[in-house]
Amino acid sequence: MTDPMLREAFTAIADRAEPVDDLTDRALRTATRRHKTRVVAGAAALALAVAVPVTVVAVGGDSNTEVLGPSDRSPSGPPQNAPSGLPENTPEERALARACMRNGPPVGSMGENRPDMGSASDFRLLTTMPVRGGRLAEVGSRHGYVLCVSDGRGNTEPPKFNAWPGKPHGGLFGFGAPLRVDGIRQVQAVSGWDELHAVVVGRAKPEVVKISVAWAGGRTDEAAVRNGFFLAQTPAKMMPDHGVTGPMANGAMSSPTIRVLSVTGYDAGGRVLHTWRPKVRTEEAGFTPEDCTDGLTRPRPTLCD
C-alpha cells in the first residue's frame, strides 16, 4: 500500500470515527495497582458483544505490520519545532490520535468528561507500536497523557486522562535522569475481551536511543522510542479466579499481576545510560499519577518526584 493510499484510508477512518460506548470498560476492570480485578462471565460476554469491530489498515495483510512507517522507532528527544515538547503530527497520526480520544475530551477517574483538560485536537500521537488487531499508542497534551489500544476507529477503553507525574519545572523534559517512567498499568486489547496489554510508558532525553523493559518471569521487551516518549508492552490475559466465593464465584475472572523489574536506557553505542527499578511495591505492579495524591501509599512512590 502506498503512502497516498494510507493517507486516504486514515482520513476516511477519521471522518467516520464515532465515540464508542464504555460498556467494555465497565465490564472489564484490569488489575493496575493494589488489587486483582474480577468480572463475571455474563458481563464479559456483554463486553464481547459490544466490542469495537476490528478493522485494521495493514500492509501485506499482516495485522502487526507497521502502518505508520519507520518513524515508530525513530530517534528519541523532543522535536526542536515544538516548544511545548509535543511532536508535530502527520495527518495519519492526527487521525489515530483523534480515534484514541474517541473524538472527544479525555475522561476522569470516574468516567466523567474532562473538557478542562483539552479537546481531542489538543492531543498528539506521542509514540505507538503494532499489536495484534491494531495499535498500542500513547497520546498526550501539555497537561497529561492517555493510553490507547485502537483498531483505527476508537479506543478499547474510555480515554482516561493521566496528569504528567513529577515536578513540572523545566517542561516535559526537565527531569534530571536520562529517562523517567510515567505509568505502569494494564489496558484492554482489541483482539479479545479476555486479552490485555501490560504497559510501561515514559519520557527519555535525546541521548537515549534504545530502552528495554524487564518483567518478572523472564519477560523482556524493547520499547518504541519516538519523539522523546517511549512505551513497551507484554501480553496479559484474564483467567478464571477460583479464589472467589459466594454469588460472584461462578464465572469470576481476574488478571494476574505482572511486575516490572527494570527499565533501562541505552545510547547509540549500546552503553547503559540509566536503569530505573521500582522501590515501592505499587510501582512494581502498576502506577498512575493518582498514586501521588491518594494518601494511601507509603512510602511515597519515587515516580511522584
The residue with greater pLDDT, 287 or 120, is 120
Q: Is the pLDDT of residue 110 over 60?
A: yes
Q: What is the mean pLDDT of residues 261-284?
A: 93
**pLDDT category of residue 286 using cuts at 50, 70 and 90:** confident
Q: Is the pLDDT of residue 61 over 80?
A: no
Whole-prediction pTM value?
0.72
> What span, in angstroms and rounded, lies between the C-alpha atoms of 116 and 99?
19
> What span, in angstroms and rounded, lies between the C-alpha atoms of 155 and 98?
10
Q: Are 186 and 198 in contact (CB under 8 A)?
A: yes
Q: Are 207 and 178 in contact (CB under 8 A)?
A: yes
Q: Is the pLDDT of residue 7 over 90?
A: no
Given this model, what pLDDT does residue 38 score? 38
For the segment 139-173, what is each residue's pLDDT rounded down to a tens digit? 999 999 999 999 999 999 999 999 998 876 778 99
Most confident segment among 103-117, 187-201, 263-277: 263-277
Q: What is the mean pLDDT of residues 179-208?
A: 94
Given this model, what pLDDT does residue 29 score? 34
Q: Is the pLDDT of residue 94 over 90?
A: yes
Q: Are 100 and 155 in contact (CB under 8 A)?
A: yes
Given this model, what pLDDT does residue 302 score? 78
* Domain extents in the chain: 3-304
With both helix axes pointing from N to C terminus, report the angle between 3-16 and 91-100 in degrees, rounded to the nearest 10: 30
Given this model, what pLDDT does residue 258 score? 87
Given this model, what pLDDT does residue 239 score? 77
Beta bridge partners of 201: 183, 231
Task: Look at residue 41 and give its three-state secondary structure.
Answer: helix
Given this model, what pLDDT does residue 95 score? 96
Q: Is the pLDDT of residue 174 over 80?
A: yes
Q: Is the pLDDT of residue 202 over 90?
A: yes
Q: Are 186 and 255 in contact (CB under 8 A)?
A: yes
For the segment 237-263, what is each residue's pLDDT rounded down to a tens digit? 887 776 666 776 677 776 777 899 999
Q: What is the mean pLDDT of residues 38-56?
A: 33
Give the least confident one: 21-25, 220-224, 295-299: 21-25
Q: For the chain, what's the residue count? A: 305
The residue with greater pLDDT, 60 or 198, is 198
